[in-house]
Amino acid sequence: MIRIDRILVPTDFSEFSRPAVNYAVAMAERFAAQ
């Protein structure tokens, strides 16, 4: 299994990018990443 240490999410801070940011936060919590 691969190890995920960091997750980078480029965003334009629009309302449409919020779901992507939320998904990235959930992934970071699941994989104990930054």
Q: Could you tell me the residue range of the domain that residue 3 belongs to? A: 1-34
pTM, rounded to two decimals: 0.78
CB 27 within 8 A of CB 8: no
Separation of alpha carbons 16 and 31, rounded Å: 24
Total domains in the chain come to 1
Q: What is the pLDDT of residues 1-34, one digit of tens each?
A: 789 999 999 999 999 999 999 999 999 999 999 9
- Which residue is listed with tokens 């960091």? 6
pLDDT of residue 2: 85
- Which residue is listed with tokens 């992507």? 20
